[in-house]
Structure 1
Amino acid sequence: MASRTQPPISDIADFLADPVAAADFPETILRFRNDRAAAEVGLGSLGDAAWLDHFGRFAPLPGNLPQPLALRYHGHQFRMYNPDLGDGRGFTFAQLRDDRGRWLDLGTKGSGQTPYSRFGDGRLTLKGGVREILATEMLEALGVPTSRTFSLIETGEALQRNDEPSPTRSGVLVRLSHGHVRIGSFQRLATLGLTEELDRLVRYTLDTLYAEQPGEEPALRLLGHVVDRAAGLAASYMAAGFVHGVLNSDNINVTGESFDYGPWRFTSSWDPQFVAAYFDHQGLYAFGRQPQAIHWDVVQLAIALSKLVDVEALGSVLDGFPAAYEQAYVRAMLGRLGVVPRGDEQDLPLAQAMEQALASSGVGIDRFFFDWSGGRRRGAPQDAARAEHFVAVEALLASYRAARTLDHPYWSDPGPCSMHIEEVEAIWSAIGQDDDWQPLHHKVAAIRRMGEAHQWPN
């Protein structure tokens, strides 16, 4: 292994990535900086001028990567294998340890063309950056493992796009993520027959991202971790009422952390058929099919790892996904509700009863978890036609105790903090028409307040 005078990704950059240069933008106007996240990786004291220099002009951070790295990968996109992928408008800019000792990546979106841009311009619309801020802030507040939007800088270019009014404003985004190693990163090496490199990537992932020695059968150990983390991610999406929109294997991080937000949406009610992406004509990544989609992607990882280890052994590990998902789903639903799991046969029926009540009643997901936080219905009773759907939920909850206090002022608000498409569009409209950023900043503050009220464990 290389000396730790360089970040650990330097050890595998020879087969994982290509050195690239950032675009030279006409302007760098700071629009969002995540000081909370910056403090966790030792960058909280950066002044705005230094921030723009590093995250708008991409001057290297001291003692870090001397040049950005565009990652190489393949992937299944809507179940069709595509070998012509890779970071086409982003790169890994730096790796930093957080205050928990974990290695995290600073990765970009909209930072310019790379060898994998194909016919793209390597840019990001400013609206796309605003949408990613809203997605990551909301998911973090709802307890979903997610990358965090670290920085958004407006770059002064006018972009042409086919799916939104053009010309439109441009930006460059930096995200803080627990690694950008994807299932598609392993697929590429397996497809190209690079077995030695595949083994090195397995060992890097265990050592750097999971902080454990590879030991014997490292590929099996890694798959076991990914099964658990991916099942947890799928479950957290469901409890949050979130639809990622594009769960291709190049968009699944092997640490089980959600990232890369394009056509995402939150569904207002429990509608398994709800689709976020207008181009998902078959509903492959609909709300209710997300666990199946993520499981399918994990199977593709196992297929890639079959170059290193016995297929039957991999199959035995994969067989654990349904049970891991069920357990994670129960934890996620009870966690968002704010009750202490009993650890007995009642926990699954409660989660199922909540899902059935939400699906049959049409009550909003955010409204339900707000009104029933701590396991007891608060506020005015629902109308009789809807209340009858929750009889089973209320009966099961009688034996549960609250996992959170309700003394935070958020729980006295008239309604929950939500993030549906109408509000996203209104926030962007204020920026796009009047260059008014206050609605965005106010919403981020409201979301973080909600996150504090949920009292998620560290």
Structure 2
Amino acid sequence: MPSAPRASPYTPDTEISQVADWLGFPVNSADFPETRARFRNDRWAGAVGLSGLNDDEWAQHFGRFIPLKDNLSQPLALAYHGHQFRVYNPEIGDGRGFLFAQMRDGNGRLLDLGTKGSGQTPFSRAGDGRLTLKGGVREILATEMLEALGVDTSKTFSIIETGEELMRNDEPSPTRSAVMVRLSHGHIRIGSFQRLLAHEEREQMEALVAYCLKHFPGPPPPADAPRRDEPAVQLLHNVVERLADLAAAWMVAGFVHGVLNTDNMNISGESFDYGPWRWLPAWDPGFTAAYFDQQGLYAFGRQPEALHWNCGQLAVALRLLCDAEPLIAALNRFGPLYMKAVARRWCWRLGVHQRDEEQDATLVAACEKQLRESGSQPDAFFFAHRGGQNAGGELAEVLAGYRSRDDNHEYWSDDAPQSMLIEEVEAIWSAIDERDDWQPLHDKVAAIRRMGEAHGPAPEPMGHLRAGN
């Protein structure tokens, strides 16, 4: 959320222990040559009562992974399967990360601290279990920008440089190493359910559904939804609602995730697992972030389709517990929910109040048309037309009926908006890589957070995680 999260005391609560025996494997972290704190997200550390840690304590917990007080005694590498570019792969799982801790925030919500680059696990296969420092810096930039644009995302909690030299095929090597900690509501993936289906573990499937409904609760299914009282049906309705909103949030943000495999889809509906992400330089549905996505399966304009397909794979897994009919009914809600979420989020980012469904759809279509025809960069388009300003032709006619929101933040008087194009990302990394200059990164994070304050809280989606659970 763009506003600072509510501060709260440290409240450990290891609910994952209920399912840990079959959900993952206890592991140890790598013993790194050094642990040099490079980024600590005190903004979100305060939300879980950890902002009071000094730098040495921070490095001990998030670089050496000394357990937090009354928390998990040993990290847990989660087990899951997944469709990777639509090809089923049973040989995956947390190959370079683990679940490190769980605690409650000030709203009573259960949150996880998970890692990336913390060493090898039973799922590493030929991988070294490490993360490049550049990958960590890119994750900071992605999560901060998405949070400011109202997307439900994991938060980059900590980056610690670890003093190793890594060899990578997709960036100049040797390159510097890091270990990252992310904060999120959960790390249960669609792939977690696919694994239980593959092993025909009905009892564990029932337990995982119950865990998700308890800790990632949402509203009940519609009154006319068939078999709406069955837990598996309730869960799928919640996930469909969340992922429809997530797809809309990415599209309105102009964001391309890049790798939308089922093992990268979180049941909580949060965007996470960032790799080759990009922001659009221009409104192009065919724009693809990952160089290895040669068929454009996860191109910008195909992201809603990809998330709907992934929901379908969750429905297939839940067939272990439920008949097809009520699950299909839940899946059929994705399209209408997505369209409503696009309208809701589009008006929010444009700084105007919604009208009705038909008028909002007309507004979105008119904006997309102008984006395509003008070649405008999306961030510049939304900034220029904030509150219905500076529009001409057909767009001006459509916007004439919309009331603007009260936007008094000084950000809207800046010469240009914040954006996250690849050239700036590379420049920020080059300053770190070549001169060990972290100031451009810190300045960018501050500027993005200021932009988030100007936008204000994003509209609350259906299926959101309710407080107090």
| TM-score of the superposed pair, with normalisation by structure 2 | 0.92
The SS at the match of 1:274 is coil
1:203 to 210, 218, 229: 210
| CA shift for structure 1 position 312 | 1.1
1:393 to 388, 392, 395: 395
> What does residue 40 of structure 2 align with?
33
What is the letter of the counterpart of residue 95 of structure 1? Q
What is the letter of the counterpart of residue 441 of structure 2? L
1:345 to 352, 358, 380: 358
| Structure 2 residues without counterparts, runs of 5 or longer | 1-10, 222-227, 461-469
| CA shift for structure 1 position 210 | 1.6
> What does residue 317 of structure 2 align with?
304
> What does residue 451 of structure 2 align with?
450
CA distance in 2 between counterparts of 1:276 and 1:106 reads 27
| CA shift for structure 1 position 392 | 2.1
> What does residue 162 of structure 2 align with?
155
2:260 to 247, 258, 262: 247
| CA shift for structure 1 position 237 | 0.4
| CA shift for structure 1 position 351 | 1.2
The SS at the match of 2:358 is coil
| TM-score of the superposed pair, with normalisation by structure 1 | 0.94
Deviations 1:360-408 (A, max 9, x none): 221110111001112222xxxxxxxxx7xx5222111111112241x21
> What does residue 428 of structure 2 align with?
427
| CA shift for structure 1 position 31 | 0.3
1:119 to 112, 122, 126: 126
| Aligned 8 A contact 2:80 2:194 in 1 | yes
Task: Write out aligned runs for 1:257-276 (5 A).
Answer: 257-276=270-289
What is the letter of the counterpart of residue 391 of structure 1? G
Deviations 1:93-114 (A, max 9, x none): 0011112211011000000000
> What does residue 137 of structure 1 align with?
144
The SS at the match of 1:284 is coil
| CA shift for structure 1 position 344 | 4.2
The SS at the match of 2:242 is helix
Deviations 1:80-131 (A, max 9, x none): 0000010000000001111221101100000000000000000000000000
1:83 to 87, 90, 114: 90
CA distance in 1 between counterparts of 2:284 and 2:201 reads 43
What is the letter of the counterpart of residue 110 of structure 2? W
| CA shift for structure 1 position 77 | 0.3
> What does residue 368 of structure 1 align with?
381
2:106 to 99, 102, 115: 99
CA distance in 2 between counterparts of 1:26 and 1:212 reads 48
| CA shift for structure 1 position 216 | 3.3
> What does residue 383 of structure 1 align with?
none
Relative contact order, CA 8 A, sep 6+: which one is greater? 2
Please report the RMSD computed on the Cα atoms of aligned residues, expressed in angstroms: 1.6
What is the letter of the counterpart of residue 129 of structure 1? G
| Aligned 8 A contact 1:268 1:366 in 2 | no
| CA shift for structure 1 position 6 | 5.2
Identity across the alignment (%)? 63
| Structure 1 residues without counterparts, runs of 5 or longer | 378-386
| Aligned 8 A contact 1:70 1:92 in 2 | yes
What is the letter of the counterpart of residue 397 of structure 2? A
Deviations 1:189-216 (A, max 9, x none): 0111011101110000000122789993
Instruction: Return structure 1 stretches of 4+ with deviation > 3 angstroms.
Output: 211-216
| CA shift for structure 1 position 354 | 1.1
CA distance in 2 between counterparts of 1:190 and 1:344 reads 39
| CA shift for structure 1 position 411 | 1.0
| CA shift for structure 1 position 328 | 0.7
